[in-house]
DNA sequence: GTAAAACCCGCACTTACCTCA
DNA sequence: TATGAGGTAAGTGCGGGTTTT
């Protein structure tokens, strides 16, 4: 499931259907993701990475990325014929990004880079075991220093970290991947890293930050929607108070109003339809003169509803005369 | 079979850097 | 040119689930 966050569109639809599912997409999928993950881990490499992994996915079959073509060769696989247009676009983007290796040592040849990736991933997955759960103790993952996937990029001898900005194409590629899957298993991460010439850690971090941004925006949308709900309810409350005041005024003017059959009118605040229900044994409202208002002819208030009934006509005739004192 | 340790991963929070008005 | 705000890559700590011992 994808959040499908689009602020403008969501807000346009917020009034009728806003799914308050913070993080559900990620969380709900976590379990099976782990399952798949386990199936794809080292001890079970028979599954080919296709981001679908042959499992039933609730996600719509959006752009299907082919991220594991010929991993043994060049880090940037040659385009195949049967790919989708989107994949082709991504391939193009990746090809563009090829020349913008912002992080990897340029001295690495293509095969060497791939080999380095393999080694790095081995460290990433196996070596991570050596690293404690505290990331502080692990060494940098790059520069050939063993470390976990959570290691820092302390590749320049402990100097201040550099701000590495991903290229537009790399970001677009990651974005497309994120649309496909909000979370990555290790092999997907590795494949993406290979495709984009990034370290797996960078891909991992990007997805973490992307999920955080999605959640933040969704929270903003939810907040806005709840704000609008609050405004609507406040307005509804104000209107109901007004109607109550009108009814009380009518009751004061027409005491016989209290002898009406025990008919209750209920209004759905959302659709503003009025429905009537009679107490058991009570005469039908239509016989009593107050017919249930249809959804197309709903009076704007109970007073208007009352004024349209025969009682109201009689009452209107009475209003020309001084009202009798209320018995209560 | 159970408990503890180790491992792994995601998240929340934060920092540091970069870009731009 | 200096500067503050915003965006974002990356660091850190923690909790929870899984695997190993």
**A128 three-class SS:** helix
For every residue of A137-192, which 3-state class applies, written as one string? HCCCCCCCCCCCCCCCCCCCCCCCCCCCCCCHHHHHHHHHHHHHCCCCCHHHHHHH
pLDDT tens digits, one per residue of A217-269: 888 888 888 889 999 999 999 999 999 999 999 988 876 655 555 545 555 54
Identify whether A61 is part of a domain.
yes
- Low pLDDT (below 50) residues in chain A: 1-149, 151-159, 263, 269, 272, 276-328
Identify whether A236 is part of a domain.
no
pLDDT score, position A44:
33
Q: Are residues A290 and A175 in the same domain?
A: no
pLDDT score, position A254:
77
Distance of C1' in B8 from CA in A159, Å: 28
Listed residues A175, A203, A221: the one ending a domain: A221
Q: Are residues A207 and A113 in the same domain?
A: yes
**Nearest nucleotide (C1') to alpha carbon of A160:** B16
Which structural domain, as residue segments, surrounds residue A139?
Answer: 7-221
Instruction: Say if strands A263-267 and A274-278 run parallel, antiparallel, or are unpaired.
Output: antiparallel
Identify whether A326 is part of a domain.
no
Q: What sign for the dihedral angle of Cα A29, A51, A74, A97?
A: negative
Residues 195-254, chain A, CB closer than 7 Å to nucleic strand C: 201-202, 205-206, 208-210, 213
Residues 212-231, chain A, CB closer than 7 Å to nucleic strand B: 212, 215
Residues 97-136, chain A, CB closer than 7 Å to nucleic strand C: 103, 133-136
Strand C proximal to A152 Cβ, under 7 A? yes
Q: Are residues A99 and A172 in the same domain?
A: yes
Q: Are residues A287 and A206 in the same domain?
A: no
Q: How many domains does chain A have?
A: 2
Distance of C1' in B6 from CA in A318, Å: 88
Listed residues A198, A221, A244: the one ending a domain: A221
* C-alpha separations of A20 from A17, A211, A224 in Å: 9, 16, 12
Q: Are residues A259 and A185 in the same domain?
A: no
Indicate the average pLDDT of chain A: 53
Identify whether A174 is part of a domain.
yes
**Nearest nucleotide (C1') to alpha carbon of A155:** C10
pLDDT score, position A105:
38
**Nearest nucleotide (C1') to alpha carbon of A159:** B16
CB A235 within 8 A of CB A207: no
- The residues pairing with A264 across neighbouring beta strands, listed in sequence order, are A277
> Tokens 């290979």 map to which residue?
A194
pLDDT tens digits, one per residue of A56-91: 333 333 333 333 333 333 333 333 333 343 444 444
pLDDT score, position A193:
92
Identify whether A242 is part of a domain.
no
Distance of C1' in C9 from CA in A230, Å: 38
Identify whether A119 is part of a domain.
yes
Q: Are residues A115 and A168 in the same domain?
A: yes
Q: Are residues A112 and A186 in the same domain?
A: yes
Burial class (CB in 10 A: 0-12, 13-18, 19+), A312: buried
Identify whether A327 is part of a domain.
no
Strand B proximal to A210 Cβ, under 7 A? no
Q: Are residues A12 and A135 in the same domain?
A: yes
Strand C proximal to A168 Cβ, under 7 A? no
CB A162 within 8 A of CB A140: no
Distance of C1' in C5 from CA in A1, Å: 34
CB A81 within 8 A of CB A91: no
Identify whether A29 is part of a domain.
yes
Q: Are residues A169 and A295 in the same domain?
A: no
Strand C proximal to A321 Cβ, under 7 A? no
């Amino acid at each position: 499931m994808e959040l499908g966050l689009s602020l403008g569109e969501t807000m346009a639809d917020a009034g009728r259907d806003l799914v308050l599912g913070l993080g559900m997409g990620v969380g709900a999928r976590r379990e099976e993701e782990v399952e798949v993950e386990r199936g794809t881990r080292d001890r079970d490499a028979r599954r080919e990475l296709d981001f679908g992994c042959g499992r039933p996915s609730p996600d719509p079959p959006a752009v299907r990325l082919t991220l594991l073509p010929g991993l043994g060769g060049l880090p940037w696989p040659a385009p195949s014929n049967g790919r989708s247009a989107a994949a082709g676009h991504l391939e193009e983007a990746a090809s563009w990004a090829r020349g913008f290796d912002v992080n990897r040592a340029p001295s690495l040849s293509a095969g060497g880079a791939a080999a380095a990736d393999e080694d790095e991933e081995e460290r990433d997955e196996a070596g991570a075991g050596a690293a404690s759960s505290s990331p502080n103790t692990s060494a940098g993952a790059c520069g050939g220093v063993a470390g976990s996937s959570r290691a820092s990029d302390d590749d320049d001898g402990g100097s201040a970290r550099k701000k590495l900005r991903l290229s537009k194409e790399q970001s677009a590629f990651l974005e497309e991947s994120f649309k496909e899957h909000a979370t990555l298993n290790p092999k997907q991460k590795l494949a993406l890293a290979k495709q984009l010439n990034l370290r797996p850690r960078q891909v991992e971090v990007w997805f973490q930050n992307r999920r955080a941004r999605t959640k933040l925006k969704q929270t903003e949308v939810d907040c806005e929607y709840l704000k609008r709900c609050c405004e609507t309810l406040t307005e509804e409350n104000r209107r109901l108070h007004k109607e109550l005041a009108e009814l009380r005024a009518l009751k004061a003017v027409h005491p016989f109003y209290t002898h009406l059959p025990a008919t209750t009118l209920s209004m759905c605040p959302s659709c503003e339809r009025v429905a009537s229900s009679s107490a058991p044994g009570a005469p039908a409202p239509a016989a009593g003169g107050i017919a249930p208002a249809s959804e197309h002819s709903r009076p704007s208030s109970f007073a208007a509803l009352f004024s349209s009934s025969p009682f109201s006509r009689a009452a209107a005739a009475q209003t020309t005369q001084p009202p009798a004192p209320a018995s209560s």
